[in-house]
């Protein structure tokens, strides 16, 4: 079973405003509301891929009830604890004229240590050896900085493989518990290193240091350049696909979801890379934080197999081959 943990969920309201301008009235042309938060986004994608997951988290107030209601038709189970306060609402503004995506995120509700301990105990009562626990996203107010370290250690002690998708101090603290997989982007990895990492070689060298600390897998997102997938003795560089952008919100979450699903299905490393690259591309084309259908991810896996090879490299050796995609979807 895959458990996704979202301690600071949100109602994601995505609006389209062509040619948005400051200090004047802007009119919305399209709008949708989705249940959001990195772990919840991952559960939506896992369901579309055909996997099973349970979304775990903290909700509050009427907005929390609304979010819970929106999840009733999703193909995964939920395990929420309600606390005082209101679940946050985040606004995503898409401007297709200016080609911009702007996020305006509320801080969310406030939790206590007792709230967090109760939810962790609920989770540990369900987790079994071999399960996957995805810890993802920001923390609500009141949550200690070491929360992800504590949760990672507890889930590892229960025999679970922990995927940690966080940044800044939360990532740095979580690393102390050596999660199974982490997914920093190049900027986040640079902050961890204390210096700007620009080349593939520099990023890989820093990623290999993390492997030496006990982490099994390091996935480094490079934005438009693609991603690096590292484990001991292996580095894979997968170039990203250029596709029409519906929304970039949740794109990284879809990659984590695909990797968790691939791990649960014992896929080969190369197949996991292809699936995560394809799923990321398919979800970028979707509006809001809705998940792409499995058929779209399958299509992109076929496109990837046709337009470029994902190769395995020895430590410190790099090479990749990329051809031009002539498919109408990528033009």
* Active site residue ranges: 253
Phi-psi region of 194 (alpha: psi -120 to 50; beta: other; left: phi over 0): left
- Distance, CA of 56 to CA of 151 (rounded, Å): 13
Residue pair 306/330 in contact (Cβ under 8 Å)? The answer is: no
- Distance, CA of 312 to CA of 317 (rounded, Å): 9
In angstroms, what CA-CA distances link 92 with 14, 225, 287? 5, 24, 10
- Distance, CA of 17 to CA of 242 (rounded, Å): 23
Burial of 43 (0-12, 13-18, 19+ CB in 10 A): buried
- Distance, CA of 291 to CA of 27 (rounded, Å): 26
Burial of 224 (0-12, 13-18, 19+ CB in 10 A): exposed
- Distance, CA of 134 to CA of 37 (rounded, Å): 12
297-324: b (≥16 Cβ within 10 Å) or e: bebbbebbeebbebeeeeeeeeeeeeee
List all residues 6 or more positions away from 90 whose beta carbon is below 8 Å from its beta carbon.
10, 11, 12, 13, 36, 103, 104, 105, 106
What single string gives the DSSP state of each residue in 43-103?
A: HHHHHHHT--EEEEEEEEHHHHHHHHHHGGGSSSEEEEEEESS--EEEEEEEETTTTEEEE
Cα 169–10–151 angle (5° rounding)? 40
Extract the tokens encoding 224. Answer: 């438009």
């Amino acid at each position: 079973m895959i458990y996704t943990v979202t301690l600071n969920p949100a109602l994601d309201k995505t609006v389209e405003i062509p040619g948005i301008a400051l200090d004047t009235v802007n009119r919305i042309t399209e709008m949708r509301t989705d249940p959001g938060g990195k772990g919840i986004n991952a559960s939506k994608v896992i369901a579309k891929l055909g996997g099973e997951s349970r979304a775990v988290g903290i909700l509050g107030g009427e907005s929390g009830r609304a979010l819970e209601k929106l999840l009733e038709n999703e193909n995964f189970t939920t395990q929420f604890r309600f606390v005082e306060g209101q679940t946050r609402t985040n606004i995503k503004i898409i401007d297709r004229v200016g080609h911009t995506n702007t996020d305006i995120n509320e801080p969310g509700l406030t939790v206590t240590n007792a709230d967090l301990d109760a939810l962790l105990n609920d989770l540990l009562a369900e987790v079994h050896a071999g399960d996957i626990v995805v810890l993802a996203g920001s923390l609500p107010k009141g949550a200690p900085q070491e929360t992800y370290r504590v949760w990672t250690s507890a889930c590892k002690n229960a025999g679970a493989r922990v995927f940690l998708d966080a940044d800044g101090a939360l990532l740095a603290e979580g690393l102390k518990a050596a999660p199974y997989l982490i997914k920093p982007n190049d900027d986040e990895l640079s902050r961890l290193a204390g210096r700007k990492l620009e080349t593939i070689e520099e990023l890989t060298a820093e990623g290999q240091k993390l492997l030496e600390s006990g982490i099994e897998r390091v996935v480094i997102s490079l934005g438009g350049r693609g991603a690096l997938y590292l484990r001991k003795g292996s580095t894979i560089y997968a170039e990203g696909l250029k596709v029409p952008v519906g929304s970039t919100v949740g794109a990284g979450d879809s990659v984590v979801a695909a990797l968790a699903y691939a791990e649960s299905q014992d896929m080969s490393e190369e197949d996991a890379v292809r699936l995560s690259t394809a799923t990321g591309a398919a979800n970028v084309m979707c509006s809001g934080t809705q998940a792409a259908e499995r058929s779209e991810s399958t299509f992109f896996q076929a496109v990837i197999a046709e337009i470029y090879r994902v190769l395995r490299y020895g430590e410190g050796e790099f090479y990749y081959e990329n051809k031009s995609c002539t498919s109408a979807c990528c033009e």
